[in-house]
Structure 1
């Protein structure tokens, strides 16, 4: 009788492997000491263990190894031949797949989608949406700026669910349409580039880079599905008849901040299409209440020129856009009474 250690050395199987094949019923020791649990094997089982070791090295499944050990001589050989046939078929498939991979390596890489803007336009586009990007770790898909490249335009989108900012620029696109979520550090670094030089953006699902005159900023897009921002556009343009009012952002900022420290701002359109800031106590059904800080940030992102506010009652988003320009605007979700 051989100990488990002797059997391991004689067969090429490890002690742990012998224990495994014992538990699986493939190679059960001839004797197990009831007092100390020691396993003992016969000389015939040494031969079986060597068979198991050989079949293990060629990848035969455990169930088939057990079948070989329990089969008569001819049946055991048929099982070996069947396994060899599977190995040969797998090798043919592997050769075919590796040949395909070699061919892919030898061909040119699929070009990335490319667009070109001036650094000033690009920085301004990011400025107009950056404030609305989320920072909630529970919603990582919103902690970036969506760069949505279509056949003839690129749209930059940021949202934290409570407000949304959108900026669209017509461009010439080389390559396929693509949507990537640009990380905020990449966005903020590009916002610092403000010259008249062109900037080329190259994007695909695994890389996003911007190249200017002597510099390149590269990062990896955030690997999430972004919210369907087009639904917000549809909700804004259908199903309502919003009232509009042109405002001077500096004047409106002063009205919002003068003597007020409330979290909410209630807006109304007064006589002569004038925007009025009213108290919460004076709120009517056609007024809209929004977050004060969000409104200030949207006004700041809109720039110094004249802005247009669109109000459509207390439960529809407040839209803020540049005068006579629908390419860049913000949507603020209303706060219910």
Structure 2
């Protein structure tokens, strides 16, 4: 048998993978040998596994995660699954590069200000946005603002100019909400966002009910000023470093479920819950467990939840996310049992909520 097989050393030399690396991928069930000598434990590989080993070496070079490598090598020929995995990885790399360019641009501006403080004071940024759109955006994110006084950087809404849109972000670490509104006046280069305190956010929302079609926002110098017709609000907006929302919201869902918002709300309100210590400061909260039926529909699991797919989220947070969205159809994006849940409206790609999952205790 050994004459028909390649030793682990031969496979290592042919692929560029180390012997220790090949042993690791055997243990990870990614590239298992065709035969292991029961006496010596030495690994032997089929000739066809040379191509797999060379492919594995290249997948490692581009930083493909272990689960993705396993999916590529295990994909059925002609299924297109391997290409889908690679396309998703390429998108992640491109997104990461875009984020790095944005951060480096902001870092360069900070360095310029530090080295030449008298000549590089940032100018105030003036944006014009539709009042109705800004009101809808504030309504979509306000519920997720943090109320913990120990976390002042989260006690408000991030106003982040991004080319043709103004992005609003709110989070309390257990959920995150994002919304976008068209904006004119923003520079093409990235600029740092402004965290608008909660009280000023609420004052701005009240201003938007005055009937003006547009609102002019001036950001910079530690303040925010909003003008709508004859009305104006202004207040301090201290400089805080806000969490990187892109890292949280770059999701790779395994399931996409479309259903009416009213149907989900009724199921959550009537469905079983579990009490778990997963709220702010470790407080108990009521948890809804979502599951998938045999025909792929979303359902609220009974208690105890059945085996199979289960995703647990804070019940109140889920209901608040439904209230903040538009009535009508919802698009839910579900990953694994410890992946965030995204709640979207199909017609508002930049406006959605993300709920952090709650780990369920092991059965038994």
TM-score (norm 2): 0.58
State the number of aligned residues: 229
From the superposition, tell whether residues 295 and 214 of structure 1 become closer, same or farther in structure 2 (CA, over 3 Å). same
Equivalent residue number for residue 188 of structure 1: 202
Post-superposition CA distance 1:281-303 (Å, at most 9, x none) = 12435220000000000000012
Q: Distance in 2 between the 1:110 and 1:282 partners?
A: 54
From the superposition, tell whether residues 318 and 283 of structure 1 become closer, same or farther in structure 2 (CA, over 3 Å). farther
Post-superposition CA distance 1:260-301 (Å, at most 9, x none) = 564000112335542201124124352200000000000000
Q: 2:301 aligns with which of 278, 281, 286?
A: 278
Are 2:220 and 1:204 equivalent residues in the alignment?
Answer: yes
Give the secondary structure class of the aligned counterpart of 1:188: helix
Give the secondary structure class of the aligned counterpart of 1:327: strand
Report how far residue 174 of structure 1 moved: 4.1
Q: Please tell me whether Structure 1 or Structure 2 has the larger radius of gyration of its CA atoms.
A: 1
Equivalent residue number for residue 131 of structure 1: 143
Report how far residue 327 of structure 1 moved: 0.9
Give the secondary structure class of the aligned counterpart of 1:146: strand
Deviation beyond 4 Å, 4+ runs, structure 1: 259-262
Report how far residue 166 of structure 1 moved: 0.7
Equivalent residue number for residue 155 of structure 2: 143
From the superposition, tell whether residues 261 and 284 of structure 1 become closer, same or farther in structure 2 (CA, over 3 Å). closer
Report how far residue 169 of structure 1 moved: 2.6
- Taking the TM superposition and a 5 Å limit, the aligned residue runs for 1:73-222 are 111-175=123-187, 177-192=191-206, 193-194=208-209, 195=211, 197-222=213-238
Give the secondary structure class of the aligned counterpart of 1:281: coil
Report how far residue 171 of structure 1 moved: 2.1
RMSD after superposition: 2.4
Q: Distance in 2 between the 1:243 and 1:213 partners?
A: 46
From the superposition, tell whether residues 269 and 259 of structure 1 become closer, same or farther in structure 2 (CA, over 3 Å). closer
Give the secondary structure class of the aligned counterpart of 2:309: coil
Post-superposition CA distance 1:173-198 (Å, at most 9, x none) = 24572310001111112223233510
Whether the aligned pair in 1 keeps the contact of 2:122 and 2:220 (CA below 8 Å) is no
Give the secondary structure class of the aligned counterpart of 2:144: coil
Report how far residue 110 of structure 1 moved: 6.7
Q: 2:289 aligns with which of 266, 284, 290?
A: 266
Q: Distance in 2 between the 1:266 and 1:160 partners?
A: 21
Post-superposition CA distance 1:124-143 (Å, at most 9, x none) = 10110110110111111111
- For structure 2, the residue ranges without an aligned partner over 5 or more in a row are 1-116, 275-285
Give the secondary structure class of the aligned counterpart of 2:358: coil
Q: Distance in 1 between the 2:303 and 2:148 partners?
A: 29
Are 2:309 and 1:309 equivalent residues in the alignment?
Answer: no
Equivalent residue number for residue 16 of structure 1: none
Report how far residue 244 of structure 1 moved: 1.0
Equivalent residue number for residue 333 of structure 1: 356
Whether the aligned pair in 2 keeps the contact of 1:266 and 1:283 (CA below 8 Å) is no
Equivalent residue number for residue 44 of structure 1: none
- Taking the TM superposition and a 5 Å limit, the aligned residue runs for 1:8-47 are none
From the superposition, tell whether residues 114 and 293 of structure 1 become closer, same or farther in structure 2 (CA, over 3 Å). same
Whether the aligned pair in 1 keeps the contact of 2:273 and 2:303 (CA below 8 Å) is no
Post-superposition CA distance 1:191-213 (Å, at most 9, x none) = 23233510011101411111001
- Taking the TM superposition and a 5 Å limit, the aligned residue runs for 1:289-300 are 289-300=312-323
Report how far residue 251 of structure 1 moved: 1.8
Q: Which moved more, 1:194-203 or 1:327-336?
A: 194-203
Equivalent residue number for residue 233 of structure 1: 249
